[in-house]
Amino acid sequence: MSVVNQSSVQEFILCGFTEEPNLQILLFALFLLVYIFTIFGNISIMGITKVDPSLNTPMYFFLHHLSFSDLCYSSVITPEMLANFLRQQKSISLVGCAIQMSIFVTFGAMECFLLGIMAYDRYYAICSPFLYSAAMNRLNCIKLVAAGYVGSVINSLVHTIGTFSLRFCKSNIIKHFYCDIPPLLNLSCSDTTINQLLLVIFGILTSWFTLIIIIISYGYIITTIIKIRSNQGRLKVFSTCASHFTAVIMFYGALFFMYFRPANTFSVGQDSVASIFYTIMIPMLNPVIYSL
């Protein structure tokens, strides 16, 4: 309640995509179908990697948690968005907005950590296969994932507490289809300099740090692949990390477009498209990519 009392705004209005009734019904049907595929695909991967003994390896252990993260941060956004297509008042309470943002930021950061961990796993599997079993044993895998969850929760708490400690007195209309940090900062009549700084610092600690790990890992992987004389051998080695590399390009491309630019350049049209890809399409596509 202390967070609510600090603000003159008690609820937010989410703009969504369009006010056209016919188009809203069409978008509802489209995104409902996408969400059904997202649930089915990620739950399937989580179930298969759990029950199939042949998939009891570090790579599929990390994939299990990646599917869990995809399912969580998609589910905290998509159902609310689908409901808003069918109702006139597209409102969300201040507390509901804070909960949505905190869960989304948690599992969005966890996606970064997991992609970095999976790149590290592929580095050991391809570049140091004789040390792989020792380096990526069960205990070390659990420690890596646990560290990712701890870092993600800390990241989320910092941004959520920092954002909802501000006063929102300019407007309560969020020019977005979910509660995200940049559009909320634009609504605040408080000084958001610290929030912008925290966004950059924690962005470096999560996104850039994990991306550097991915780049270094793939640098060694590509060097190892080049040294393989057989074309068939190169293709076989490359196929073990091709799906992960594709997921990295899609995720980080959308992530950097959304967050690593000035808040005053926030554009409803462009950022809504990028956010759809980032929050809704990627969680659906990841199971397809990794299944292939």
> pLDDT of 103-161, one tens digit each?
999 999 999 999 999 999 999 999 888 999 999 999 999 999 999 999 999 999 999 99
pLDDT of residue 3: 43
Q: How far apart are CA 236 and CA 238, in angstroms?
A: 6
**Position 266 pLDDT exceeds 50:** yes
- Full residue range of the structural domain in which residue 21 is found: 2-291
When the pLDDT of each residue in the chain is averaged and rounded to a whole number, the result is 86
Task: Count up the domains in the chain and report the number.
Answer: 1
* Number of H-type helices and E-type strands within the chain: 13, 3
- Residue 121: count other Cβ atoms within 10 Å of its Cβ: 24
Question: What is the pTM assigned to this prediction?
Answer: 0.88
**Position 220 pLDDT exceeds 80:** yes
CATH number for the domain spanning 45: value is 1.20.1070.10
Residue 108 near residue 202, CB atoms below 8 Å: no
**Range 167-183 burial, b when 16+ CB lie within 10 A, else e:** ebeeebebbbbbbbbbb
**177 or 41: which leads in pLDDT:** 41
Q: What is the pLDDT of residues 35-83, one digit of tens each?
A: 999 999 999 999 999 998 888 899 999 999 999 999 998 999 999 999 8
- Residue 271: count other Cβ atoms within 10 Å of its Cβ: 20
Q: In the block, which residue shows the tokens 């969680």?
A: 283
Percentages (nearest 5) of helix, strand, coil residues in the chain: 80, 5, 20
What residues contact residue 166 under an 8 Å CB cut-off, 6+ apart? 7, 184, 185, 188, 190, 192, 195
On the 0-12 / 13-18 / 19+ scale of CB atoms within 10 A, 219 is: exposed
Instruction: Tell me the two tokens of residue 28.
Output: 């509802």
User: What are the beta bridge partners of residue 91?
Assistant: 13
Q: Which amino acid is at 177?
A: F
Q: Which amino acid is at 110?
A: M
Largest CA distance in the chain: 67
